[in-house]
């Protein structure tokens, strides 16, 4: 009987849930209810409270020292933010471009690295290596490499007579350049997922297809592509989420510049925070949370559905 | 029964936990008194990590300790820029601020809510020694909160005097002359106007440094701007800064690598004569001294010229200040006050000048510049001597938009025009004003 007493406060907050757990604890959980308390306290103070506090603070003008309730003004302000519209467009471009390239390159590399080639193990680890390097480090390195006048890339291009562009300083190229670096850094993970997917396809399918007279293209089109679908959907979801909330690489390389031309939603939010507009940046995070959820939940449902149909 | 044993156990535990503390307190106390400075007070001083400021702070601490052997000053550092802002705000809010800290004056000072967070020093005698142009920068209502740390600085154009002499140019008094000079410099194969957009903040000088000219033509602009009655896009005088940026881009007067150049690169170009003029703050003297010490005296300074040669003058920036948080009390507060008095005294100025090159005059009565200061400092100080200076807008109005640097990069790179850049900045400014809760926005 006494063991139930500590659950008093949570029971007061969420009576329905608490009764349900208590009943299930009595029936078949091997642990007493208080056993869950430490985890619940940690989860509550570090995740639940901040999350709900952030919903509240997104409705205030907040200076750290004091907050004034202003209703939905932050949200209207945020949607009027000149950089935000561009930020949204850029975010989608970036997410689609990086995840598309990762799927294509990852699949091709996956096929290459599951075939019978020399030094396969070594090549596999080489492809995966950039994943292990710190993103900011990669960003700083590529900023140096992509410098229009002194960078290695343009020096190499000028050696063969091409006048290289300002990769990160040309407003129409900057985002694309960062996306390429993101692909270079992230394609290793996609490749590993594809390798696992392709290796798990039973040999019987290949044999059956070959007996039916299928060439290499038909093998790829009708065996590898459909049967590695779980890998494809994993890569798409992972890299799309990564692309939508991408921030570190962009910040390390361009800080959203030149001007606002490579700003994404996350960097717009960060800049509001830097400027001390804490309420506004919290509102931005709430928006980002809703947008990412609105895209990823239906997408992963859809991808899972296709998987079952196979 | 059960609860009583529990209580007993708890008491034992508490005793065990406190005992070592007591013991250590005893031993520390006895050790202290035996070595003779049992009453020594240690105060913590938080400054930003810019080399010039850090050196000056350390020198101040050292010289102060020599005069006050019973007080120790330990210098801590924090990042500069917006990261530093957030750190300061967080530490003030959580009551964990160092005993005395340096921070900006003017508009940023207003944002740390001085009346709530800082201890006023209005009645302290050393406050009377502060320059009357400086006092409003650290005052809210009738309470004063800080003393200057470092010297004033000018925002204008650094120029290579050798290039000017070689091409027979004179310091321009109007913007038209500046453009004419620049065209001649370009014809000689030297980059006329250095721009360094990799360090975005450096892009703002043509707008911010033009404020003396705005104020000369329209003395009440700052007031109207704060009250939401004057806008950069619609005010003919204020809009000129953005137009200048557009013009130097359209006339191709920038160095060709302006988009990827950094401040350090820009200063090297200037010092070696590959670039002739660099709109900049005089605070970069320290950086030039590090990168090109031999060429430091080849570089001079002139205020950003406007339309009226007669009103030519300097846009001045005020130094940071030392502030005392409300969390500093008792002995530490007394010690901190002594430290502030030392900082705001001629000995304090000399001490700072020993460690870092002054970038303009010190704003404390009785302080003079050493005779061996670089040419830039002399040029800046001359404007103060002739009283041909006015404070930058950020010292007259709490409203400064955070995105000005990106907007300036856009205009200076030809991504947007001057008009839309100015309009964009007006929107940026509105957010800041609303955040501060100013009336009329």
Same domain flag for B214 and B84: no
Find residues 397-416 of chain B whose CB sits inside 8 Å of chain A.
402-403, 406-407, 409-410, 413, 415-416
Residue B104 distance to chain A (closest CA, Å)? 15
Q: Are residues B162 and B119 in the same domain?
A: no
User: Is B432's CB within 8 Å of A275's CB?
Assistant: yes
Query: What pLDDT, on the 0 to 100 scale, is given for residue A230?
Result: 87
Q: What is the model's pLDDT at position A8?
A: 39
- What angle separates helix B418-436 from helix A73-80, to the nearest 10 degrees? 160
* Residue B194, C-beta contacts closer than 8 angstroms, at least 6 positions apart: B254, B255, B258, B261, B266, B269, B270, B275, B276, B277, B278, B279
Structure tokens at B397: 């109005």
Q: B367 in a domain, yes or no?
A: no
- How deeply is B105 buried, as exposed, middle or buried, from its count of CB atoms within 10 A (0-12, 13-18, 19+)? buried
Given a cut of 60, whether residue A267 has pLDDT beyond it is yes
Closest to A259 (Cβ–Cβ): which among B117, B406, B435? B406
Q: Do B85 and A276 touch (CB under 8 A)?
A: yes
Give residues with Cβ within 8 angstroms of B127, minimum separation 6: B121, B135, B144, B147, B344
Q: Please tell me the distance in Å from A277's CA to the nearest CA on chain B.
A: 7
pLDDT in tens, chain B (441 residues): 344 444 444 544 444 444 444 444 444 433 333 334 456 899 999 999 988 899 999 999 999 999 999 999 999 999 987 788 889 999 999 999 999 999 999 888 888 889 999 999 999 999 999 988 889 889 998 999 999 999 999 999 999 999 999 999 999 999 999 999 999 999 999 999 999 998 888 999 999 999 999 999 999 999 999 999 999 999 999 999 999 999 999 999 999 989 889 999 999 999 999 999 999 999 899 889 888 989 999 999 999 999 988 889 999 999 999 999 999 999 999 999 999 999 999 999 999 999 888 998 998 988 988 888 899 999 999 998 888 888 999 888 888 888 899 999 999 999 899 999 999 999 889 888 888 888 888
Among B89, B111, B406, beta carbon nearest to A257:
B406
First-to-last alpha carbon distance for chain A, in angstroms, is 53
Q: Are residues B341 and B416 in the same domain?
A: no
CA distance B105 to B82: 15
Q: Give me chain A's average pLDDT, please.
A: 83
Is there a single domain that holds both residue B299 and residue B326? Answer: no
Instruction: Check whether residue B308 and residue B402 sit in a common domain.
Output: yes
Is B181 a domain residue? yes
- B254 and B347 in one domain? no
Chain B residues with CB under 8 Å of A255 CB are 200
| Nearest chain A alpha carbon to B408 | A259
Residues of A whose CB is below 8 A from B407: 259
With respect to residue B401, please indicate whether it lies within any of the assigned structural domains: yes
Band the pLDDT of A142: cuts 50, 70, 90. very high
| CA angle, residues A201, A202, A207, in degrees to nearest 5 | 115
Tell me the pLDDT band of A24, cut-offs 50, 70 and 90. Answer: very low
Test mutation, B435, B436, B437, chain A, max A CBs within 10 A:
B435
- Beta strands in B164-265, from DSSP E residues, in sequence order: 191-193
Contact check, Cβ <8 Å, B89/A255: no
Residue B230 falls inside a structural domain: yes
Q: Which of B402, B409, B434 lies nearest to residue A61, judging by beta carbons?
A: B434
CATH number of the domain that residue B388 is part of? 3.40.190.10
Structure ipTM: 0.74
Confidence at A118, pLDDT banded by 50, 70, 90: confident
Same domain, B286 and B148: no
CATH class of A77-309: mainly alpha
Is there a single domain that holds both residue B109 and residue B183?
A: no
DSSP state of B283: G
**pLDDT higher than threshold 80 for residue A27:** no
Choose from B198, B254, B325 for mutation: most chain A CBs within 10 A: B198
Domain assignment present for residue B15? The answer is no
The answer to the question of residue B432 being in a domain is yes
pTM: 0.79
Q: Is A255 on the interface with B (CB under 8 A)?
A: yes
User: Cα–Cα distance between A42 and B124 in angstroms, integer?
Assistant: 48
Contact A149 B260 (CB under 8 A): yes
Residue of A nearest to B117 (CA): A65
Q: B113, A166: Cβ pair inside 8 Å?
A: no
Q: What length does chain B have?
A: 441
How far off is chain B from A88, nearest CA to CA, in Å? Answer: 18
Which chain A residues are closer than 8 Å to B92 by Cβ? 65
Give the residue among B10, B65, B21 at the shortest CA–CA distance from B42. Answer: B65
Q: Which residues of B touch A275 (CB under 8 A)?
A: 82, 402-403, 431-432
Residue B93 burial class via C-beta count within 10 angstroms: exposed 0-12, middle 13-18, buried 19 and up: middle
pLDDT value at position A171? 85
Indicate yes or no: CB of A260 within 8 angstroms of CB of B116.
no
The answer to whether residues B254 and B193 touch, using CB atoms and an 8 Å cutoff, is: yes
- Least Cα distance to B56 among B73, B35, B81 occurs for B73
Kindly tell me if the per-residue pLDDT of A165 is higher than 50: yes
Please give, rounded to a whole number of angstroms, the shortest distance from the CA of B440 to a CA of chain A: 16
B158 and B234 part of one domain: yes
By CB atoms closer than 10 A (0-12, 13-18, 19+), residue B140 is: middle
CB atoms within 10 A of CB A218: 13
**Per the domain annotation, does B371 fall within a domain?**
no
- B248 and B186, same domain (yes or no): yes
- Residue A15 has a pLDDT of 45
**CA neighbor of A238 nearest in space, from A286, A207, A274, A192:** A192
B399 within a domain of the structure (yes/no): yes
Q: Name the residue range of residue B392's domain.
A: 153-317+378-436
pLDDT in tens, B131-185: 888 898 899 989 999 999 999 999 999 999 999 999 999 999 999 999 999 999 9
Delimit the CATH 1.10.3720.10 region(s) of chain A.
77-309
For B407, the closest chain A residue by CA position comes to: A259
Rounded CA-CA distance B184/A124 in Å is: 59
Q: pLDDT of A48-90, one tens digit each?
A: 998 888 888 888 888 777 788 888 888 888 887 777 788 888 9
Give chain B's domain count: 2
The reply to whether B98 and B208 lie within a common domain is no
pLDDT of residue A26: 52
Do residues B397 and B423 share a domain?
Answer: yes
Nearest beta carbon to residue B410 from set A147, A149, A260 = A260
Would an 8 Å CB–CB cutoff place A166 in contact with chain B? yes
Minimal CA separation from B121 to chain A, in Å: 21
């Amino acid at each position: 009987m006494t063991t139930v007493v500590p659950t008093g406060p949570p029971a007061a907050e969420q009576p329905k849930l608490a009764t349900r757990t208590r009943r299930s604890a009595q029936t078949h959980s091997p642990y007493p209810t208080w056993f869950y308390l430490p985890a619940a306290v940690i989860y509550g103070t570090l995740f639940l409270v901040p999350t709900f506090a952030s919903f509240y603070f997104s409705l205030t003008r907040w200076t750290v020292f004091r907050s004034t309730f202003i209703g939905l003004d932050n949200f209207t302000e945020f949607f009027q933010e000149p950089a935000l519209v561009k930020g949204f467009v850029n975010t989608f471009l970036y997410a689609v471009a990086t995840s598309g390239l990762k799927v294509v390159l990852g699949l091709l590399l996956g096929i290459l690295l599951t075939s019978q080639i020399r030094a396969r193990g070594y090549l596999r680890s080489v492809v995966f290596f950039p994943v292990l390097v710190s993103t900011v480090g990669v960003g700083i390195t590529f900023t140096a490499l992509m410098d229009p006048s002194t960078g290695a890339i343009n020096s190499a291009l000028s050696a063969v007579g091409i006048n290289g562009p300002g990769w990160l300083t040309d407003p129409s190229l900057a985002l694309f350049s960062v996306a390429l670096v993101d692909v270079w850094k992230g394609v290793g993970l996609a490749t590993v997922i594809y390798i696992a997917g392709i290796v798990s396809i039973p040999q019987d399918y290949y044999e059956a297809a070959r007996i039916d007279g299928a060439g290499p293209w038909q093998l790829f089109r009708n065996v590898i592509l459909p049967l590695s679908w779980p890998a494809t959907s994993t890569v798409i979801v992972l890299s799309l989420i990564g692309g939508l909330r991408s921030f570190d690489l962009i910040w390390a390389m361009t800080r959203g510049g030149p001007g606002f031309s490579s700003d994404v939603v996350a960097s717009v939010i960060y800049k509001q925070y830097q400027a001390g507009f804490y309420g506004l940046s919290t509102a931005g995070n709430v928006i980002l949370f809703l947008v990412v959820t609105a895209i990823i939940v239906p997408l992963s449902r859809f991808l899972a559905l296709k998987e079952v149909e196979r | 029964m059960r609860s009583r044993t529990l209580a007993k156990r708890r008491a034992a535990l508490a005793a065990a936990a406190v005992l070592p503390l007591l013991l250590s307190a005893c031993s520390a106390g006895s050790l202290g008194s035996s070595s003779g400075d049992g009453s020594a007070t240690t105060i913590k001083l938080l400054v930003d990590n810019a080399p010039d400021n850090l050196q000056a702070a350390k020198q101040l601490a050292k010289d102060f300790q020599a005069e006050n052997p019973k007080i120790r000053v330990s210098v801590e550092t924090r990042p500069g820029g917006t990261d530093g802002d957030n750190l300061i705000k967080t530490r003030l809010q959580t009551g964990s601020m160092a005993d005395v800290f340096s921070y900006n004056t003017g508009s940023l000072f207003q944002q740390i809510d001085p009346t709530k967070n800082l201890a006023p020093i209005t009645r302290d005698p050393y406050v009377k020694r502060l320059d009357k142009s400086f006092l409003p920068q650290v005052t809210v209502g009738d309470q004063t909160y800080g003393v200057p740390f470092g010297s004033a600085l000018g925002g204008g154009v650094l120029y290579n005097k050798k290039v000017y002499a070689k091409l027979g140019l004179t310091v321009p008094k109007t913007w038209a002359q500046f453009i004419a000079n620049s065209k001649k410099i370009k014809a000689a194969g030297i980059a006329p106007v250095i721009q360094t957009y990799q360090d975005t903040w450096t892009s703002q000088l043509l707008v911010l440094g033009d404020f003396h000219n705005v104020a000369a033509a329209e003395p009440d602009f700052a007031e109207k701007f704060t009250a939401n009655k004057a806008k950069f896009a619609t005010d003919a005088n204020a809009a000129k800064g953005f137009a200048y940026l557009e013009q130097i881009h359209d006339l191709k007067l920038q160095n060709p690598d302006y988009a990827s150049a950094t401040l350090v690169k820009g200063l090297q170009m200037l010092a070696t004569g590959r670039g002739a003029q660099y709109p900049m703050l005089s605070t970069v003297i320290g950086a030039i001294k590090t990168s090109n010490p031999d060429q430091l005296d080849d570089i001079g300074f002139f205020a950003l010229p406007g339309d009226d040669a007669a009103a030519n003058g300097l846009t001045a920036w005020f130094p940071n200040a030392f502030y005392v948080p409300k969390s500093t009390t008792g002995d530490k507060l007394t010690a901190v006050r002594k430290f502030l008095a030392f900082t705001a005294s001629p000995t304090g100025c000399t001490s700072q000048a020993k460690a870092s090159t002054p970038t303009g005059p010190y704003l404390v009565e009785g302080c003079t510049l050493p005779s061996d200061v670089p040419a830039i400092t002399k040029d800046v100080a001359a404007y103060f001597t002739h009283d041909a200076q006015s404070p930058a807008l950020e010292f007259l109005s709490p409203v400064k938009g955070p995105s000005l640097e990106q907007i300036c990069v856009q205009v200076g790179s030809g991504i947007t025009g001057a008009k839309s850049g100015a309009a964009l900045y007006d929107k940026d400014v509105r957010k800041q004003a609303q955040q501060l809760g100013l009336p009329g926005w």
